[in-house]
Amino acid sequence: MARLVLKFGGTSVANLDRIRNVARHVKREVDAGHQVAVVVSAMAGQTNMLVDLCRQAAPLHDAREYDAVVASGEQVTSGLLAIVLQEMGVNARSWQGWQIPMRTDGAHGAARIGEIDGERLIERISQGQVAVIAGFQGVAPDNRISTLGRGGSDTSAVAIAAAIKADRCDIYTDVDGVYTTDPRIVPTARRLDRVAFEEMLEMASLGAKVLQVRSVEMAMVHGVRTFVRSSFDDPDAPQTGIGNLPPGTLICDEDEIVEQQVVTGIAFAKDEAQISIRNVADKPGVAHAVFGPLAEANINVDMIVQNISPDGKTTDITFTVPETEYDRAMKVLEERRESVGFGAIEGARNVVKVSVIGIGMRSHAGIAAQCFRGLAEKGINIRAITTSEIKISVLIDSAYTELAVRTLHSLYGLDG
């Protein structure tokens, strides 16, 4: 017998038929003798509709009331799933974030989880009752409902799994696992049986959309083994994957992965923009003068390249920001042209970041050289480069995205 947390996303609970299918997955685990807690998202499209209603009501609305409105989507789903489970003969009840309680900070609309008291949940599920929990929500210090930001149900599920010391957190989604890259671009992409926490964190932050970054961070910190699988699989099908699990991907400690490939996957992010500042005086403090105001404006800077002129008097600084922050970043820098003292500012939105990821890169030399040679042979120019122990990221023109991803996927032997 195991203690499991099952999380179902919006597409998995999009209507009553799909909720009934979800209930069959839950009942299968209950019938197998497991203790089960379930975390659900709002029905597909519901959160967007509720957000739009808030904006229509008032463009500058109260964030606390916004949370009260948008959290209702998960409340509906949790209640409906509990009703369906009861109809199937499963002892189940719904829980809201404040009933657990899941305590967060006061950043309404983008709250972070502080602590979860899992004792009541443990008591109920130990007695055989299924807890159906509204994801995405908690209770702020002011005792108002808070929400965790988009994708927050994944984070809720992992946090609850940590709080109740679950053996595993199963994330049911509309794909059957984590792939070496996006199968829509590379049809020969393979589903990975196991991925290390650190690799998954890099893949999630660099463009893979399977899991929300904060949920992977929490899983890694608390050592929550996380299994990504499809909710559209037949609930009654034999469990034929790794460790008597169905097809999917287990995200776990590096120690659980016996045979680790040098490169695990290729990720890409299209939501990047490049900014270049030309002829900046090369003197102490200039980098702070450029990046300090961006930090104060809460604009995240990613890749940074600095080139010093031959005479050593000026420098060019190139960096990337999220594409959605491009206009705001340009405005912040233009306002400080005189204080920073740069000659010109240039930008480009038509760029993409492509990343090679793998914990095996720590012990193998020449991985970066292979990447650069492979792209050069295809005539792909690299605008910027960043590296870490387990990743290489290059910034290229967006027109070459698919060619670059396919080239690197084949280069590192990832084709199925």
The pLDDT tens digits for 9-58 are 999 999 999 999 999 999 999 999 999 999 999 999 999 999 999 999 99
Q: Which two tokens stand for residue 219?
A: 């899983």
Q: Is residue 68 exposed (0-12), middle (13-18) or buried (19+ Cβ within 10 Å)?
A: middle
CATH code assigned at 321: 3.30.2130.10
Distance CA 212, CA 24 (A): 25
Give Cβ neighbours of residue 356 (< 8 Å, ≥ 6 apart). Answer: 263, 266, 367, 371, 391, 392, 393, 408, 412
Q: Do 110 and 247 sit in the same domain of this protein?
A: yes
Instruction: Kindly state whether residues 236 and 277 are assigned to the same domain.
Output: no
Residues 245 and 279 in one domain: no
CA distance to 11, 197, 260, 263, 265, per residue, from 359 (Å): 32, 10, 8, 7, 10
Both 249 and 276 in one domain: the answer is no
Yes or no: say if 224 and 169 are a contact pair by the CB < 8 Å rule: yes
Which pLDDT value is given to residue 239? 64
- 309 touches 283 (CB < 8 A): no
158 and 34, same domain (yes or no): yes
Whether residue 298 sits in one domain with residue 212: no
- Residues 77/40, Cβ–Cβ less than 8 Å: yes
Q: Is the pLDDT of residue 115 over 70?
A: yes
CA 73 to chain centre: 21
Q: What is the mean pLDDT of residues 355-369?
A: 89
Quick check: is 416 in a domain?
A: no
Query: Mean per-residue pLDDT for 197-203?
Result: 92
- Residue 176 and residue 74 share a domain: yes
Structure tokens at 153: 């149900």
Residue 4's pLDDT is: 97
Annotated binding-site ranges for ATP: 7-10, 173-174, 179, 184, 209-210
Q: How far apart are CA 97 and CA 100, in angstroms?
A: 6
Average pLDDT, the chain: 91
Answer yes or no: do 235 and 278 share one domain.
no
274 and 237 share one domain: no
Instruction: Please state the pTM of the whole predicted model.
Output: 0.85
Helix or strand run (H / E) with residue 54: helix 46-57
The answer, yes or no, to whether residue 77 has pLDDT greater than 70, is yes
228 shares its domain with 269: no
Q: State how far the Cα of 215 lies from the Cα of 196, in Å rounded to an integer.
A: 14
In a domain? residue 259:
no
Residues 291 and 343 placed together within one structural domain of the fold: yes
If pLDDT is split at 50, 70 and 90, which confidence band does 286 have? confident
Q: Is residue 188's pLDDT more than 90?
A: yes
Residue 180's pLDDT band (boundaries 50, 70, 90)?
very high
Enumerate residues 6+ apart whose C-beta is below 8 A from 404.
268, 352, 354, 375, 378, 380, 394, 396
Q: Distances from the Cα of 304 to the Cαs of 95, 295, 351, 391, 395, in angstroms?
A: 45, 14, 14, 16, 11
At residue 57, the 3 state secondary structure works out as: helix
Question: Residues marked as binding for substrate?
Answer: 47, 74
CA distance 108 to 103: 12
- Helical packing angle, 63-70 and 72-87, nearest 10°: 20
Q: Which amino acid is at 200?
A: M
Q: Which structural domain range is residue 65 located in?
A: 3-254
Q: How many domains does the chain have?
A: 2
Ranking 120-129, 289-298, 374-383 by mean pLDDT, the lowest is 289-298
Binding site residue list? 7-10, 47, 74, 173-174, 179, 184, 209-210
What's the pLDDT score for residue 279?
A: 87
- Residue 77 sits in the same domain as residue 145: yes
CA distance 43 to 76: 9
What are the E-state strand segments in 205-258? 226-230, 249-252
Residue 287 near residue 317 (C-beta atoms within 8 A): yes
In whole angstroms, give the CA distance from residue 370 to residue 350.
25
276-297 exposure pattern, b = at least 16 Cβ within 10 A, e = fewer: bbeebeeeeebeebbeebbeee
- Taking only the tens place, the pLDDT of each residue in 296-322 is 988 989 888 887 767 677 888 899 999
